């Protein structure tokens, strides 16, 4: 499928969708504390999205049962919220959320500390976030898609972390997942040429140990094969002729 170029009207709708999602993330971040369950986070996020008059786009997506993906420690992404999973001091928790506003999707993820965490875990979260910013330095019209992938890879690899290869970023707009796919590891080919008006979800998933992942029997939760911690950072961005606009940040 061709990569869609959004019109000025569509870009405005994407901006609003993403602005609302940024608010959801901000409130969820403030709510996190030891003793709460991963289901508490889903309930809170789902309510916030619906109270905004929006629809949680993850709910029932290919059968995914919740509105917020909550992934703890060695869970990489797509953790299923549970009443039995209680956050403990020292955990790291990745929240992935998205919503639909007037037909336009937004998608963003952050990894947070639960109380005090180890310096090693803090570093993993910091490097994962920074790898997104390193990647999008290359995200401008005229550059190639894989300039983003290569920049993320070069930065993360310098820390010895494993870059998840089985899951990638994506275009986004009237669908949650649109072309192109956006790998977070180095590519031999250049990929498509970036054009102003493309909206992309760039989302490095980084493991403290090896890159390999596996799927749990719930068919959703992706975990690191070696049990090491994993972090995730994602924003929806707009390609322009200059600096990209990061739509899911204030
Ligand atoms: N941010 C995730 C992604 O881009 C969306 C979660 S998929 C769902 O793949 F099925 F859990 F909704
Ligand atoms: Co995504």
Give percent above pLDDT 90 in the chain.
Answer: 99
The residue whose CA has the least distance to atom 5 of ligand 1 is 58
Q: Please provide the average confidence, as pLDDT, over all residues in the chain.
A: 98
State the DSSP code for 80. Answer: P
Confidence (pLDDT) at 162: 98
Ligand 1 geometric centre to CA of 181 (Å): 13
Pocket test residue of 45, 64, 80, 96 for ligand 1, highest count of atoms within 8 A of CB: 96
* Overall average pLDDT of the 235-243 stretch: 98
Structure tokens belonging to residue 187: 């590519």
Structure tokens belonging to residue 186: 């180095």
pLDDT, one tens digit per residue, over 121-172 is 999 999 999 999 999 999 999 999 999 999 999 999 999 999 999 999 999 9
Q: How far apart are the first and last CA of the chain?
A: 31
Residue 250 pLDDT > 90, yes or no?
no
Question: What's the CA gap between 94 and 63, in Å, rounded?
Answer: 20
pLDDT, one tens digit per residue, over 193-226 is 999 999 999 999 999 999 999 999 999 999 999 9
Question: What's the CA gap between 194 and 151, in Å, rounded?
Answer: 15
The residue whose CA has the least distance to atom 4 of ligand 1 is 169
Confidence (pLDDT) at 23: 98
Ligand 1 geometric centre to CA of 78 (Å): 7
Confidence (pLDDT) at 169: 98
Question: What's the CA gap between 84 and 62, in Å, rounded?
Answer: 24
Question: What's the CA gap between 149 and 169, in Å, rounded?
Answer: 10
Cα separations (Å) of 78 from 64, 201, 250?
8, 16, 25
Confidence (pLDDT) at 227: 98
Question: What's the CA gap between 90 and 110, in Å, rounded?
Answer: 16
Confidence (pLDDT) at 195: 98
From the CA of 170, give the closest atom in ligand 1.
Answer: 4
Structure tokens belonging to residue 212: 């390999």
Confidence (pLDDT) at 30: 98
Confidence (pLDDT) at 67: 99
Q: Does residue 204 contact residue 111 with C-beta atoms inside 8 Å? A: no
Structure tokens belonging to residue 244: 């990209």
Of the candidates 150, 133, 41, the one whose C-alpha atom is nearest the C-alpha of residue 86 is 41
pLDDT, one tens digit per residue, over 82-130 is 999 999 999 999 999 999 999 999 999 999 999 999 999 999 999 999 9
Ligand 1 geometric centre to CA of 160 (Å): 26
Confidence (pLDDT) at 191: 98
Residues having CB closer than 6 A to ligand 1 are 58, 61-62, 64, 69, 78, 96, 98, 107, 109, 170, 201
Q: Indicate the pLDDT class of residue 1, thresholds 50, 70 and 90.
A: confident
Ligand 2 geometric centre to CA of 169 (Å): 6
Q: What is the DSSP string of 176-194?
A: SSEEEEE-SS--SS--PBP
From the CA of 220, give the closest atom in ligand 1.
Answer: 11
Q: Does residue 78 contact residue 220 with C-beta atoms inside 8 Å? A: yes
Alpha helices of the chain — where are they, by DSSP H? Answer: 8-31, 38-51, 119-136, 145-157
Residue 57 pLDDT > 90, yes or no?
yes
């Amino acid at each position: 499928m061709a990569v869609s170029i959004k019109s000025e009207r569509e870009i405005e709708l994407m901006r609003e969708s993403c602005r609302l999602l940024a608010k959801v993330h901000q409130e969820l971040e403030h709510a996190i504390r030891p003793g709460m369950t991963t289901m508490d986070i889903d309930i809170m996020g789902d309510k916030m999205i619906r109270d905004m008059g929006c629809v949680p786009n993850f709910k029932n997506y290919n059968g995914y049962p919740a509105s917020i993906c909550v992934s703890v420690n060695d869970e990489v992404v797509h953790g299923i919220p549970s009443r039995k999973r209680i956050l403990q001091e020292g955990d790291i928790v990745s929240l992935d959320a998205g919503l639909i506003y007037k037909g336009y999707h937004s998608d963003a993820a952050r990894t947070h500390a639960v109380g005090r965490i180890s310096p090693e875990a803090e570093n993993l979260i910091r490097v994962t976030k920074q790898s997104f910013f390193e990647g999008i330095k290359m995200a401008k019209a005229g550059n190639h898609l894989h300039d983003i992938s290569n920049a993320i890879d070069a930065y993360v690899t310098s820390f010895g972390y494993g870059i998840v290869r089985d899951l990638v970023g994506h275009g986004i707009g009237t669908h949650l997942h649109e072309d192109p796919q956006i790998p977070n590891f180095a590519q031999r080919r250049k990929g498509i040429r970036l054009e102003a008006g493309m909206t992309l979800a760039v989302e490095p998933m980084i493991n403290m140990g090896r890159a390999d992942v596996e799927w749990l029997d719930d068919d959703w939760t992706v975990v690191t094969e070696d049990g090491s911690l994993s972090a995730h950072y994602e924003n929806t961005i707009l390609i322009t002729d200059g600096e990209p606009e990061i739509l899911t940040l204030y």
